[in-house]
Structures are given as C-alpha cells and as structure tokens.
Structure 1
Amino acid sequence: MTVAKSNDFKYLSMMTMNTNYGVMYQVRLCSKLGRKTIGVGADKIQALNLALMIDEEINKQVVNGQPVEIDYLKALVKEAQEALKVQKTEKLRLVKKDDLHILWDKYVSFHTSIGVWEETYILTTIQTVGNLIKRCPFQRLEQKNQVVEWIFDDSTRSSKTSKDRFKLIVAAIDWNSKTDNIQRKWGIDYRDLLSSISIKSEKKTNTTCDDDREIDIFTVSEVYKILHALKNETYSRFPGKHYQYFKYIYFCWLTGCRPSEAVALKWENIDLIKKRIKFCEGQVNASGRIIKKKGTKTVSVRYFPINDELQALLETIPHRTGYVFLNAANKPISQKGLNGVWHTLLDAMEIRYRIPYQLRHTMISYHANNDYPIHKLAEIVGNSDKVLKEHYLKLDIERIKLPEIIKSV
C-alpha cells in the first residue's frame, strides 16, 4: 500500500479533530476551492491515502478544465471506504490464475486491443463491471452460486441491471474457456446458470429501452416537486448549490433529450427566431475524462421545436455564446456534479431514487400516452416509431393535459 505524507498535497491539507470517539481526520480544500471539508475516517494511514486520492482527482479535474464538485469527491471517498471495508472482511488467500478478476482482465485486455469497444463503453460499462468483480469476495469459479447471490443482493441495483452485470461476467468466462485459459466446462456451466436466472415481471412502468436503461418513470407531481426544490434551494446547504442545476433539469424535462445532449448544447445550435433546437453533439464524463461526440445516439442531427415555455426558460439564461448550461463556477454543467445533489435531494424529499436519465423516459412516456402523434414524437426525441410503440405505449400512467401541466413552474 502506498502511504501518503501530509506534504504530498497540492489542493488540500489534513486536519485532526478530537471527538468522543477519538481522533478523526478531515481534509480541507484550499481557499481557491472554498475551504470545504471532507471526513476521511479515524485511521491515519487510510486517511492520508484517501486525501491523496482526493488531491489527484482534483488535479485531474483542474487539468481537464472541469469544475471541482464537493459532492462528487465525497461520493468518491465513500465508495473507497466501502471497498476498504470489504477488503478487511475478506480472508487472506493466494491469487490464482483462474480467479474471476484475472479472467476478466484477460477478456478486457484482448477486446480492447482489437478495438471492438468504443471508448465510452470501456470507461463506463466495462469499468463498472470490473470494479464489481474486484469487490466480489468470491473469486473462485467453483463459487458461482455465491457470486450470483452476492451480485443480486445489492439493493441499489435492479434485478435486471444485476443480471446484465452477470451476463458480462459470463461472457468473460465463456471467452476464457474458448481460448483455453480455463476448462471448457466452466463456460458451459456459467452459461447454463445465466439461462436459469429469470427476472420476475414488474409493473408496466418498468420496461427497457434507450441505452438498455430501465424505464422507471417519475410521476408529473414528483418532477415538479424536484424542480421546485431545485429552484428554491429547499434542501441546499449552500447558496446556489442546487439552483445551478434547475434550468438544466427543467430543460431535460421539457425536451426529453439525453443528458449528454443537454450538456453539450451550445447557443449556436439554438434559433430563438425560427424556434428550434439542433441536437448534434454529445458530451459525457467517463471516469474523469470528458468525451465529446459528433451526432446523437441515433441520428447525426435532430431538431426539436421551441414552444412558449421552453422559449421563456431559454430567455432567462443571460449569456448567448458557448455552452448553454453553466454551473455556479461558470463552467459547463457536469452530470457527474449533479449526481451528488440528485441523491441528496431525492433522499430529503423521500422520493424513490431514479437516475436523472429517467426524465427523458418520463417525458416520452407521458406524451406517447396522451395523444401526441407517435411518428412526430419519435422524430423529435430521436427514437423510432417501433421503439415508442413497444416500450412507451400503454404504461400504467395517468392521462393528463400536458400543455397545462408543463406551464406550472
């Protein structure tokens, strides 16, 4: 283990606090970053290494011109602390050549080398599954039933998502068995196990579509409670912390665009006279790296009409050049930065957690089931008629008059 020293840090300093439970450690960001603090536990060596991780992440964000989001840093620390807890509870044993994480690394290394995966896929899905495998306390191929139980026991994931994660693990094992890294029987055993896993059917409001994300929509009431809380900073500890995301979230709700499209949107692609928006770019933060892509997921260019309330929203944004949505630091909005606020907000409001992407599914679902022409809706949201009919129609949602509903914020 690398042990950091207190003088290794560029953007923060270490602090100690005497509490009833003993000495606790905190990191304090430098004055340029607002001197905010993050708790890093009671173990000095662990605290120093967590501080080093925070410092390196801040440096990465500064170099890439990204805003430094305190909520994201806190989430990073929490994830690292949880991983350390898992490590401490595991029994010490020798790593073997057919351990799951070794087989996974071979699978990923080969497929990365031949260029069959896009960079965003590697930095998101593949890295997520890789981290999951490293945390798994069951690494032996013989422990396949324990692996499945451990993956599906995580209540923060849906059953479908857990099965999708396991499906990739099975693909890695099957590939290793076909390339003689392990016996062929393991590929067969794990494929049979995967086929035996059936997911209980859920409500009709839960199906799958766009980007293989589950459709798990909000109610209109929930959407407007969220918008109201962001606008009025009902649950924000610091001025401007939540409001900076209000117009971005409101825009995503009104247009049903993908978050990557809203983040990448520039004023040059908004025509307030012709009343239309041109979606032609995407921008995502994949493991700390900003990846920009020309075109949308389904087409190179998509136009969206600007109605009165969307026009009114856009006219409240003071600047008219560069990125449309900027955060409190006057930098392009960060979906990663929003995630921490989103968690905090939904928890405080006691609204069941769903990712911000579900605003897109919610907008499409309500319009599809409230007499908006399907072919026109498909065109403006960047999906096909077939997808809308198969995944969005006849969901168990209330019928509403959308033009009245979306004027109320």
Structure 2
Amino acid sequence: MARAKKGTISVENFRGMLRLRLPRPWFNGKKKWFSLNLPDTPDNQKIARAKANLMENDFIYERFDFTLEKYKLTTAEPEPEISLSDLFFNYLKFKEKTLARSSMKNLISVHNKLLAMPENVLKNPNLVRSWLLEHNTQNQAKKDLCQIKACCSWAFDEDLINNNPFEKVKKIKGISTDEDPDPFTIQERNIIIQAFNEFCPHYYNFVRFLFFTGCRPSEGAGLKWENIDFLSKQIIFVEAIVEGHHKDDTKTHKKRLFPINQQLMEILENQPKIKNTVFFSEKEQNINLNNFTRRSWSRIFKDIQVRKRGPYHCRHTFITLCLDQGIPIQQVAKWVGNSPQMILKHYAGLTRSSVPEL
C-alpha cells in the first residue's frame, strides 16, 4: 500500500488485518490506530479507504467524532499485543543484514535471555532490569539492557509499538573492565616480554608486537603477510580475528597505516612464515584470543611479580608511553585507530611525566 500523505489517514496491514492510522496532529502528537477487523483483501481495502475518506471529510468540516461511535470502529490497543521476546526476534532479523558475526552472537544471547524470563517479568520493564542484574554480571546486564532499549526504540520508529516502555528505565552503571586504561610500566612490560621468551616462546613475537604497535589484539591476530609492505616499511591494519574466525574488517571499519621501526622490523624478520597470517597458535591455527588469554597469558603472571591485567593493556601501555614521550595526540590516534577526543578523554590523565622544577 502506498504511503499516505502527511495529515491524512493511512490504511495499513497489521498481521494480515486492515487498520487505520490517524494523523498524529489530531491527537496531540500521539500515535493512534484503529482496527477495522477486516482481512487485507482488495475489496476490503476499498472499504477501508472509504472509511478513511469519511473521517477525513468530517475532520475538515469540524464534525469529526473523537469518540468514534459515529464510525463504529474499534480502537486498537495502545500497544499491539506482541511479547518483548517476539519483538526482539524481529529486531534480530532486521539487524542480521548489517551486523558482524560477533555482534549477532551478542543479540542472540539477549534474545535467549528474554525467552528464559517469566511472563510477568517480560511485561514490566523494571522487572526486566532486575532480572538482568540478578542473572548476569553488572557490565553484561548493562549491555543487555541497552540492546533491549535499542530494540524498543526501533520498534517504536517502525510503528510496531506505541511507545518505548524502557525509555525511562534507570540505566545500569558499568564497572571497570579489562578495556579500561590501566597501562603497564616500561619495567612491567619488559618483565612480561622476558617471561614469554622464557616460558612461552611461541607467543614471544606476538606479545612484543602488541606492546610495540598498540594494535587491538584481534588486529594483531588477524594480520596477514600480504598487508606488510617491507619496501615502504608500513603495516596495513585492515582485518582481525574475532573468536577464532577471520574478519575482513577492523573494529572501526577503517584501514590504517602503521610505520615499521627497527624494533618491529626485528620482530617481523624473526617470525616464521609458515602461514598467511603472521601470528598463529601453537597448532598453526588462527589465534583464539580467549584461549591465548586463559592458557598462555594468565599462566605467565603466575611466575612474575606484576599485577595481572589482560592483553588489551598492551594497547593501553603503548598509547600511554607515546604520550609520555611527547608524541602529539593526533599522531597517536592515527597510529592506533582512535579519535584524538577518545585519546584525550581516556589516556591524557594517565601519563607519568614528572613535575618540572620551576
């Protein structure tokens, strides 16, 4: 059916039945639907259009009956009767065309949680929030609630619901995570690198590469030899390994160039070229970062006197040390694939420059 002109009544198909959607200005900006209780057929569409014309004429001549008794129409429910889990499933199908594998996996997880919620919980947004906090970590509950809010916002824009019931639900505060900047010192970095050289030499070059480029671990794991230009001495970060699967893209969806200094050249020249990816697991497969963190990275920290943080802190360390050396924020941002605003917000306060003697 063609979209109605602004200020006129549109005839819609909703679950195979015809309904009228009245112009918002007639009802102080609120959405208003009316069910005709007629199946969507060509003949019934003519009836629906006739009903719409009658109502439009009455409105023009200021005789519109806002009680609707005159038109003998049944007002549709303020919100169509669709469960939150069904609504999220529709959102899932909508997003699968554009989202990456890992992001879709997160949405599927949220949908499974909605299916596990009791019916009385699903009908109360505040109870949904409480259920998420009770059955997840605080950070995961925060992410899940954000996805549910986004789903309902999408559903509202698509006229599937009359309002977003989660719009006024209190946000869940996150707590510090492994991705929050908490850099290693130079001494700690060197101890970690030496420990890998002694106890886990297979990943020695990989760990050094993370520390000396500040790349995201997924980008380091996904780096291919074809994206290293030894002639111009540049690395092209254009892909990643996410959950063991190759992804032809980076987190920011932008490729970036990184200069190869002598330190990096030594790492790359000493890395065996037995696969198309530069770094690989001990079984010569794509590096699964979860396995690497659990089996190799965590094991190293049992033998050294350094407070444990995750591999992502190699990136934090590189950025912080660059700022300590006085490298402009714009240049650091370009190297690591962040915006200067993000660098300033999260890292500028972590530099360790000593106070000058005035």
Output the CA distance in 1 between the equivalents of 2:99 and 2:278.
27
Query: Which one of 173, 177, 181 corresponds to residue 199 of structure 1?
Result: 173
Q: Does 1:217 align with 2:182?
A: yes
Q: Residue 306 of structure 1 aligns with which residue? A: 260
Check 1:222–1:149 CA distance in 2 against 1; reply closer, same or farther (3 A cut): farther
Query: CA shift at 1:390, angstroms?
Result: 3.1
- The size of the alignment, in residue pairs, is 272
- Structure-2-length-normalised TM-score: 0.61
Q: Residue 89 of structure 2 aligns with which residue? A: 105
- Structure-1-length-normalised TM-score: 0.54
Q: Does 1:391 align with 2:357?
A: no
Output the CA distance in 2 between the equivalents of 1:361 and 1:345.
21
Output the CA distance in 1 between the equivalents of 2:201 and 2:131.
39
Q: Does 1:374 align with 2:329?
A: yes
Query: CA shift at 1:293, angstroms?
Result: 1.4
Output the CA distance in 2 between the equivalents of 1:365 and 1:137.
47
Output the CA distance in 2 between the equivalents of 1:273 and 1:178.
52
Q: Secondary structure at the match of 1:215?
A: coil
**Cα pair 2:240 2:248 within 8 Å, conserved:** yes
Query: CA shift at 1:251, angstroms?
Result: 0.7
Query: CA shift at 1:280, angstroms?
Result: 4.0
Q: Residue 118 of structure 1 aligns with which residue? A: 99
Q: How does 1:4-403 map to 2 (within 5 A)?
A: 99-112=83-96, 115=97, 117-120=98-101, 122-134=103-115, 140-153=121-134, 156=137, 158=139, 162-176=141-155, 184=162, 187-188=164-165, 190-193=166-169, 196-197=170-171, 199=173, 214-220=179-185, 222-233=188-199, 242-272=200-230, 274=232, 276-285=233-242, 290-293=245-248, 297=252, 299-300=254-255, 302-319=256-273, 322-341=276-295, 344-345=298-299, 348=302, 355-395=310-350, 397-399=351-353
Check 1:337–1:387 CA distance in 2 against 1; reply closer, same or farther (3 A cut): same
Q: Secondary structure at the match of 2:168?
A: helix
Q: Which string of whole-angstrom CA distances, capped at 9 and with x for unpartnered residues, describes residues 79-135 of structure 1? A: xxxxxxxxxxxxxxxxxx8554333212212333xx3x2333543442343355456
Counterpart of 2:182, as a letter, is I
Q: Residue 33 of structure 1 aligns with which residue? A: none
Query: CA shift at 1:181, angstroms?
Result: 5.5
Q: Which string of whole-angstrom CA distances, capped at 9 and with x for unpartnered residues, describes residues 51-87 of structure 1? A: xxxxxxxxxxxxxxxxxxxxxxxxxxxxxxxxxxxxx
Counterpart of 1:197, as a letter, is K
Output the CA distance in 2 between the equivalents of 1:107 and 1:171.
9
Report the aligned-residue RMSD: 3.8
Check 1:99–1:354 CA distance in 2 against 1; reply closer, same or farther (3 A cut): farther
Q: Among the aligned pairs, what percent are the same residue? A: 26
**Cα pair 1:298 1:382 within 8 Å, conserved:** no
Check 1:104–1:325 CA distance in 2 against 1; reply closer, same or farther (3 A cut): same
Query: CA shift at 1:282, angstroms?
Result: 0.5
Query: CA shift at 1:244, angstroms?
Result: 3.0
Counterpart of 2:337, as a letter, is G
Output the CA distance in 1 between the equivalents of 2:207 and 2:134.
32
Counterpart of 2:193, as a letter, is L
Gaps in structure 2 of 5+ consecutive residues = 1-80
Query: CA shift at 1:252, angstroms?
Result: 1.1
Query: CA shift at 1:323, angstroms?
Result: 1.9
Check 1:110–1:294 CA distance in 2 against 1; reply closer, same or farther (3 A cut): closer
Query: CA shift at 1:325, angstroms?
Result: 0.9
Query: CA shift at 1:369, angstroms?
Result: 4.0
Counterpart of 2:95, as a letter, is H
Output the CA distance in 2 between the equivalents of 1:155 and 1:326.
33
